[in-house]
Amino acid sequence: MVEKIDHIGIAVKNLNESLRVFEEILGLKSIGLETVTDQKVKVAFIPVGESEIELLESTEPDGAIAKFIEKNGEGIQHIAFRVDNIEKVLEDLKAQKVRLIDEKPRKGAGGARIAFIHPKATNGVLIELCERT
């Protein structure tokens, strides 16, 4: 059901400063910025091998990323697994009574279709399912 780790999401206070750190210290290059209004975030993706790092800065004080930073400080916020049929995976999880944040896919950065599994169901780790076309 899972093909690979699509990306690791990191909550940051300042996207441009964090990008500079990843680019200067690790020599990585981002592939563009995007605002996802639905999720109240500005996002930058940094390819690393076959996966990516997703840096997330909140655009609103009441956004999920702002709340995460308030509670935990900056750091890894979620891990995203690539799936090829997100509806099917969600149906399977529902059948197993796994607690979900999203019962239906929503639109994520880069035109992906995404859904989150509740961290209470996965040892405290927020897991994103991510289908790309």
Contact footprint for Zn ion (CB under 5 A): 9, 54, 80, 128
Closest separation in Å from C-beta 7 to Zn ion: 6
Whichever of 54 and 131 has its CB closer to Zn ion, that residue is: 54
CB atoms inside a 10 Å sphere around CB 24: 9
Closest separation in Å from C-beta 123 to Zn ion: 18
Whichever of 9 and 93 has its CB closer to Zn ion, that residue is: 9
Closest separation in Å from C-beta 78 to Zn ion: 6
Whichever of 93 and 112 has its CB closer to Zn ion, that residue is: 112
Closest separation in Å from C-beta 9 to Zn ion: 4
In the complex, which residue's CB is closest to Zn ion? 9
Whichever of 9 and 58 has its CB closer to Zn ion, that residue is: 9
